Structures are given as structure tokens and as C-alpha cells.
Chains A and B, each alone.
Chain A
Amino acid sequence: MNAPRPQTLVAKVWDAHVVHRLPEGPELLYVDLHLVHEVTSPQAFAGLRGKRRTVRRPDLTVATMDHNVPTDDRTRPLGDPVAAQQVEALATNSREFGIELFDLTSPRQGIVHVIGPELGLTQPGMIIVCGDSHTSTHGAFGALAFGIGTTEVEHVLATQCLVATRPRTMEVRFTGTLPTMVSPKDMILALIGRIGTAGATGCVIEYTGDAIRRLSLEGRMTICNMSIEAGARAGMIAPDEMTFEYLANRPRAPHGDAWQRAIERWRGFASDPGAPYDSGVTLDVSDLAPQVTWGTNPGMVTAITGTVPDPTSLATEAEQQAARRALAYMDLEPGMRLAGLPVDRVFIGSCTNARLEDLRAAARVVAGRRVSSRVRAMVVPGSQAVKAQAEAEGLDRVFTAGGFEWRNAGCSMCLGMNSDVLQPGERCAATSNRNFEGRQGRGGRTHLMSPAMAAAAAIAGELVDVREWP
């Protein structure tokens, strides 16, 4: 008798969710958790209403407001009437269809990808979807989690299922010991620099290796979060004891006997030895330096010790053209050192880097120092719960004493849908995930980096190597 064929984590989670294989090839997958926010859902609810359909499983659907909410004073009505309409629409839709909503008055409100794990809603082996590309974050728990468009949001609301084609798999193995002051953000930026922004298109990445195993769940979330920036639909990390420890006693995690049963089931969500991946990459992080983007996509990245590349050194004409365009937009010249580049703004926030460990890392750099007089810097916690915990630890006082603005939770300047935007020409050190043209405000210039690096840039008024920080 043949031994069972070794399977990947992706295949195991996928297979456990197949409701029905359609004759034409794709499969109907069952969704365990559907997260909803105000920007990509109103048209989906309108679609349901128009067809007199209902939400099949409101109990598996959770909503929050994060993308366009103000992060300063939120007692007043929203200053932007169009955004207010969207927030109001989510409240009405949640009420009408019986969906739990964490609204602006909730102490649990926050960025959708921060509150899911925080509440223990995100669990190993689940399929999780949301109308947001950074849904990949939840893969840190061994869930298969990916972003969908609004029509698919409507499909999941109506059917709790999604029609999908089995993805290819890519193993990204991180080996070695991460040096001091170098972070998971640097690992994922280095990966995207290596494989490019379309390097994993059509794939789900599974992150493996000893460097991943040593990371906290928060660090793993940072890595999985940016999988989409490499083109991957999702990123996943098999659950382990640290995963279970993180989830234990979270409000929505199983409790009592159900918890024991859950852990036993969750242990099965790991790739078997010899499981076949379609492709693979290995990165040794032992000598990794802090990473900083220089261009207008996350793959345009180099070490802080590096220089802005010469477009003519790039392989293809298309890449050269893109680099020339990026340098013109970023107002940089080939050969310039990145260290020493003056910044106007610093943003510590986003679903990539606004959890407690991120704020702690930034606060350690800031402690007792002040933001440069030419810089405006803000910290936007990922959730109100992160904010409360940070305040309990006194981190808010470290930041405010240093001249940082201390805000309420939301996506904020990561995508600039609220009033937190860059002015044309402003240069920003940001802990977020996209440095696209205009992402943080038209004409704004974004350099992506880790929380510690962004904090150091705020103090120094320029990009600096945080490893040399006194």
C-alpha cells in the first residue's frame, strides 16, 4: 500500500472547505469568517437588497469601520459628508442584516486585520475573506485568508461561499537569526525586493524556516500582511505553540473542552514533510540590514546602508522606465545615499505595523528624545484595544512627550482616505505597506520601513540606520 501523498498546509485548509467541485474546474469553498468594512461593502449590501437576498450567516460575519474614519476627535460628526454617508451605510446595513459591528464608539473598534486576531476570531485552518487585499494578514495563524472584490463580498454574504480556483504554492523559507534592531518588516521588504511585486502572482506563499518559528504572532502578521505586495493572494504560517498561546483566552476563541479539541485539530494544519510546492525561495536573515523603499512600489527597496539604484542597471527596458519614473516622482538621483535623506512626516500605523510590539519598538527608540523640529509625526494604533494597552504601559506618554501626535485607531495615512494626508512634495517615513504614487496624498513621497526605523527618522529628521542609534 502506498503511503498517503504529503500535502501542503494550503492544500489541507483548501480541501477541508470544498463544498462542491464545479464541473468546469473551480471549487465552491466555504468561508468561516467574513470581515466587512465601510468602503468595499455598501454596493454589496445594495446588491442583496435589490435581489431580495439575505445574509446567509450573519453569525460568521463581523463588521468594523476603519478605512475612512477620523483618528483625531471622533465625538463630532465626521467632517467629510461623503465618508459619513459610508459609515452610516455600514451601520444601517449591519443593523438590517443582523451583523455584529464594532463602530466608532466601541472599545474594540480598529483596523479590521488588527481586531480579527485580537478578538480571537482569526483561528488556524479557517478560510477568512474580506474586501481588502491585506486580509492576507490572518494567514499568520495558519488560516487561508485573502482579499476579494465587492461583487465577491456580495457572493459571500449571500451564500457564505466563494467560487475559487486552487492556487499555486510557493514556499518562502527564512533561515538564520535576525540581527538586533532588524524586524519582520525588513524580512518581508527584502523578500519583495528579491522576487518583485508580481513575484508570487497566482500563488499562496507559505512562510517556513527557523527565522519564522522564532517570530511572535505579531511579527508573523507583519510578514503575511505584505504577501499581497509580492503579488500573492495570501501568505500562511503553520500554527504552533506560540499561536495557541496567543489565542488562549481571547474573547472569541474556543474555551474549556472546545479549546482542547480545537488545539488538537489545529495541530494538523501543517505541511507534511516532503509536501510539494510549485516554487520556493530561501532567504538567510543573519546579515539582513534595515530596509527602506526608494521608489513607488514595495519591490523598489534596498538596505538603509545602500544607495538609490541607477535605472540603467536594471534588467529590462520596462523596469528601467518604471525606475526612471519612480525617481522623478520621488525626487531622487541615482547613487544618492538613503541615509541622511530629510523627511517631513512620519507615520507609525497601519495593519502592517500598528500592533503593540510595533509601538513598543518605536517607543524604545523615542524614549526621552524629541521629534525633529522639521518633522510632523503621528502614531495611529491599529485598534482601540492596542491604544488602551499602550496607554496602560505609558507608551502614549513617551510619544506625546517626544512631540508625536497620539491618535485613535484606523487606517489613517496608510491610504489617506480621511484627512491624514501628505501635502504635495512632502517626504514621509511610513510603517505602512504601499509607497504607490499618491497613496498617502497626491504628490506625497513615501518611504516604507520598520517602526523602529520610522521612529528614528522622526527624531533625526532624516533617514538613519537604527542599528547605529545611540
Chain B
Amino acid sequence: MSTPFVRHTGRVAALPRVNVDTDQIIPKQFLKRVERTGFGPSLFYDWRFRPDGAPDPAFELNRPEASGASVLLAGANFGCGSSREHAVWALQEYGFRAVLSVSFADIFYANCCQNGLLAVRLPAEAIAELFDRHERAGGRYDLTVDLEAMTVTDAAGFRATFAMEHYQRDMLLRGLDEIGRTLLAVDRIAAYEQGREA
């Protein structure tokens, strides 16, 4: 069961890199936990921290303006590679409620939906405009992501609409337990099994 997502306004952190893979989002040495928690401190570990463990001031998320960011503006094909859901858990625990990109890898996108992290696909021009606005604001830039209205807006008149499959949108809006929902069809599953094993 995930936290419902209806709308959210928050500080934007920009990560203008393409093909950010889940190995970067959460490096493998942090995948050994048996809980869903405890991954936030390791988010983007090799980028956030220098080899000596000190924060790397050059990394985008370490900029002072990005402190408290809850909306991640990312390059295309975000979340490619490994299926590790730990990547989504780490992003959420760090404080992100939404990720905006031109495109996401399939498994990562599905994992976002399962956990109530809103992955928003926007056209390339809109993403470019957002990166631009973020930079012009010196990184002190906030966005509102509204899943009910399916819009992304800022206080200065930016407005973009996005699409999402009805099923996934509904699951996110209501924070549904998909397993519970599927179990409502248990008779159909049993019927399928009978045919399958006949």
C-alpha cells in the first residue's frame, strides 16, 4: 500500500544528466538490507559523497538551494538498468515525491507507481524549459505537480499537462493496495488455473 498522491508543491532539484541508472541512484553495496527503509542516506552515494565520505559540493543535490528538494527534474531515460526497487525507496526516503523527465525506464516507472512516487513524463521542450527556469532562478525554484489535474505548474505561469494510464493514476491517487485488489479476482485466478492444469 503506497501513500496517496494528489498534488504536491515543493523545491526542485535539477539533475541534467541522461541515462541515470539505478546503480547510480542506489549503489549495490547498500542493497543488503532486508527492510524497505534505511536507503535515503545512500541515495546517489558515489555522486553525493567523495571517497573520504565528505559531501561533494559539485554534485547537484548538494547545492544549498536544493536542500529540502522534493521534486526531481531529471534527464531522459531516468532509472535505467537494474530492477532494484531500492532506488525508488531511496528517492522517497530522501524526500522526493515526484520525478520529472522526458522518459523513464519501464521497470523503474512501474516501481514508482507501486510506491506512490509520481513519475511524470513531459515533452522534451517542457523539460528543457523547466531546466532553464530552474537555472534562471538560481536553483531556488518550486513546482506544483497535480495528479488530479494532470498538470505541472510554477508560480510564474509555467503550465504543462501530462498523461498517465488511468489504472496507474487511480492507484496513485488512492494509494491502493494492488495485491488486495487482485485478490478480489481470486475466483477468476482459480478458474484460469483449472483450465491451465486440465
Partner-B contacts on A (CB < 8 A):
19-20, 22, 24-26, 28, 30, 39-40, 42-43, 46, 51, 53, 56, 67-68, 80, 82-83, 85-86, 89, 131-133, 147-152, 154-155, 158-161, 163, 165, 197-198, 201-202, 228, 231, 233, 297, 318-319, 321-322, 325, 415-417, 424, 434, 436-439, 442-443
Interchain CB contact (< 8 A) of A161 among B21, B29, B84, B182: B182
Chain B residues with CB below 8 A from A25, complex form? 165-167
CB of B105 within 8 A of CB of A231, answer yes
CB of A19 within 8 A of CB of B188, answer yes
CB of B46 within 8 A of CB of A325, answer no
Interchain CB contact (< 8 A) of B85 among A30, A151, A158, A443: A151
Interchain CB contact (< 8 A) of A30 among B31, B33, B106, B189: B189
CB of B17 within 8 A of CB of A53, answer no
Output the least CB separation between A329 and chain B (Å): 10
Interface residues of B in 72-86 (CB under 8 A from A): 75-77, 80-86
Output the least CB separation between B28 and chain A (Å): 5
Closest to B112 in A: A149
Output the least CB separation between B172 and chain A (Å): 13
Interface residues of B in 88-127 (CB under 8 A from A): 88, 103, 105-107, 110-111, 114-115
Secondary structure class of chain A's binding surface, majority of residues: loop
Chain B residues with CB below 8 A from A415, complex form? 23, 28, 82
CB of A198 within 8 A of CB of B76, answer yes
Interchain CB contact (< 8 A) of B83 among A147, A202, A417, A438: A147
Output the least CB separation between A82 and chain B (Å): 4
Known: A19-B189, A132-B83. A159 touches B107 (CB 8 A): no
Output the least CB separation between A56 and chain B (Å): 8
Q: Complex Cα distance A325/B16, Å?
A: 12
Interchain CB contact (< 8 A) of A442 among B19, B27, B170: B27
Binary contact readout B3-16 vs A (1 if CB under 8 angstroms, 0 otherwise): 00000000000001
Provide 20 A-B residue pairs closer than 8 Å at the C-beta atoms, listed in order of the A residue: A30-B189, A30-B193, A40-B83, A43-B34, A68-B31, A86-B32, A89-B34, A132-B82, A147-B107, A159-B183, A163-B178, A163-B182, A198-B77, A198-B103, A198-B105, A201-B77, A233-B107, A297-B19, A321-B17, A437-B23
CB of A149 within 8 A of CB of B110, answer yes
Known: A40-B83, A68-B32. A152 touches B110 (CB 8 A): yes
Output the least CB separation between B84 and chain A (Å): 7
Chain A residues with CB below 8 A from B83, complex form? 40, 131-133, 147-149
Chain B residues with CB below 8 A from A28, complex form? 182, 185, 188-189
Output the least CB separation between B191 and chain A (Å): 8
Q: Complex Cα distance A233/B21, Å?
A: 15
Output the least CB separation between A322 and chain B (Å): 5
Known: A28-B188, A198-B103, A201-B77. A437 touches B32 (CB 8 A): no
Output the least CB separation between A304 and chain B (Å): 24
Closest to A164 in B: B110
Q: For A46, A68, A228, which residue has the most chain B Cβ atoms within 10 angstroms?
A: A228
Q: Complex Cα distance A47/B35, Å?
A: 10
8 additional A-B residue pairs with CB within 8 Å, beyond A86-B34, A437-B24: A20-B188, A51-B179, A131-B83, A148-B110, A150-B111, A152-B114, A159-B189, A197-B19
Output the least CB separation between A212 and chain B (Å): 23
Q: Complex Cα distance A158/B110, Å?
A: 18
Interchain CB contact (< 8 A) of B33 among A80, A82, A131, A442: A82
Chain B residues with CB below 8 A from A148, complex form? 83, 107, 110
CB of B32 within 8 A of CB of A417, answer yes
Interchain CB contact (< 8 A) of A39 among B21, B31, B51, B189: B31
Interchain CB contact (< 8 A) of B19 among A56, A202, A322: A322
Q: Complex Cα distance A198/B18, Å?
A: 10
CB of B185 within 8 A of CB of A19, answer yes
Closest to A297 in B: B19
Closest to B166 in A: A24
Chain B residues with CB below 8 A from A30, complex form? 189, 192-193, 196
